[in-house]
Amino acid sequence: MSDPKEELQRDVERTRRELGETVEALAHKVDVPGRVKEQAQETRLRMAVATNQAVDSLPEPVAVQVERARRHPGAIAAALIALVLAIWAISRRNG
């Protein structure tokens, strides 16, 4: 038969371990900014994987152009802004 003191000590250690795990889980649950950052990182990773898979499925000439655009996002943004401004100017002139 077990010694009651040893059994009590094991119960105390088990209870401390469970309490520590509970406190850790609650701290994680309360850390909303940390959880948001984790979720954002996971989403960023999933989107990167999906983007790479989409680019890999494109025909070679198109994939090359997409990779160039990914390396120079500022140039693409500038071209899109210029296009929007040109459309706006034309629509004002015809309107």
**pLDDT tens column, 7-61:** 999 999 999 999 999 999 998 888 889 889 999 999 999 999 998 898 889 899 8
Identify the band that residue 95 occupies on the pLDDT scale cut at 50, 70 and 90.
Answer: low
- Look at the alpha carbons of 86, 89, 93, 95 in this order and tell me if their dihedral is positive or negative: positive
**Maximum Cα–Cα distance for the chain, whole Å?**
97
pLDDT of residue 1: 60
88/65 same-domain check: yes
70/88 same-domain check: yes
How many structural domains compose the chain? 2
- Look up residue 75 and give its two tokens: 């140039």
18/54 same-domain check: yes
Q: Which SS3 state, helix, strand or coil, does residue 69 take?
A: helix
The tens digit of pLDDT for each residue in 61-86 reads 888 888 888 888 888 888 889 999 99
Domain span at residue 31? 1-58
34/13 same-domain check: yes
Q: Are 66 and 54 in contact (CB under 8 A)?
A: no
pTM of the model: 0.46
Closest CA to 56 of 46, 45, 67: 67
